[in-house]
Amino acid sequence: MSSAQIEPLGDCALLIRFGDRISVAVNARALAATAALLQADLPGVREVAPAYASVCVQYDPVVWADPTRQHTPFAHIALHINKLVDNAAFIPTPAMRTGIEIPVRYGGDFGPDLAALAAHAKLTQDAAIARHCAGDYRVAMLGFAPGFPYLLGLDAALHAPRLANPRTRVPTGSVAIGGAQTGIYPRESPGGWQIIGRTPLVLFDSVRDPPALLQPGQHVRFRAINAAEFAELSP
């Protein structure tokens, strides 16, 4: 297993790199490092944010000023972090182990790109829905917008290119596919992924603790619902 690379991001943040590709194994290392850092509760660390193959750590450089003046604050904290993350084991947190089911109304006005995506995959729409629901997904990271989950585990048959012309408005709760990933738009925004359905669940609520419904490392399954159930589950 190769060592992590740690590099500065300005004077109050750093990036821990484990690779440069989308990979379940590499993402597991990033999540393991995140768990190790959160458990260590290092002084002056303000935020630990995992991505697919890296982890961003924001810290207070004053707290990490080296009293011996032999190291910069970055070099000082990097020495401690390297010891923590180099051999960190992936241990799922309670949220990761619990998992969550996402109800989705597929197709029609809820999923305007489902028919085209199914045709691209040489599947019927029902077969495409079944494959999407059969996947065991894991939240690799949150990004793009608050609470937007990037999910690993999409059936290869459903991999599809992003739209040539992105939409200026994607409805809140839209479930979409972009390349080898599937995700959920937590609020209305522009977007170029292919929309196959919509969930009535609220993905991000600033007054909720935590605000994001899904967390990195958490397992996710999708379940197809009808229009009546969508209306019943809508807030």
User: Is residue 34 domain-shared with residue 104, that is, in the same domain?
Assistant: no
Name residue, tokens 């961003």.
Answer: 56
User: Is residue 62 domain-shared with residue 122, that is, in the same domain?
Assistant: no
Q: What residue ranges of the chain have pLDDT lower than 70?
A: 1-2, 89-98
96 with 88: CB under 8 angstroms? no
- Does the bond joining 210 to the residue before it have cis omega, within 30 degrees of 0? yes
Q: Which of 85, 117, 132 is the last residue of a domain?
A: 85
Domain containing residue 153: CATH number? 2.40.100.10
Query: Into how many domains does the chain fold?
Result: 2
User: Is residue 37 domain-shared with residue 120, that is, in the same domain?
Assistant: no
Domain that holds residue 17: 5-85
User: Is residue 157 domain-shared with residue 174, that is, in the same domain?
Assistant: yes
User: Is residue 183 domain-shared with residue 165, that is, in the same domain?
Assistant: yes
Q: Which of 30, 50, 85 is the last residue of a domain?
A: 85
Domain containing residue 53: CATH number? 3.30.1360.40
Instruction: Check residue 1 and give its pLDDT.
Output: 47
Instruction: Check residue 95 and give its pLDDT.
Output: 56
Q: Give CA torsion, residues 90, 94, 99, 100, to 10 deg.
A: -140
Name residue, tokens 């397992």.
Answer: 219
Please give the helix or strand (H or E) that residue 170 lies within, else none. Answer: strand 167-170
Instruction: Check residue 4 and give its pLDDT.
Output: 87
Q: Which of 85, 115, 132 is the last residue of a domain?
A: 85
Would the pTM of this model clear 0.75, i.e. be above it? yes
Instruction: Check residue 152 and give its pLDDT.
Output: 93
Instruction: Check residue 3 and give its pLDDT.
Output: 74
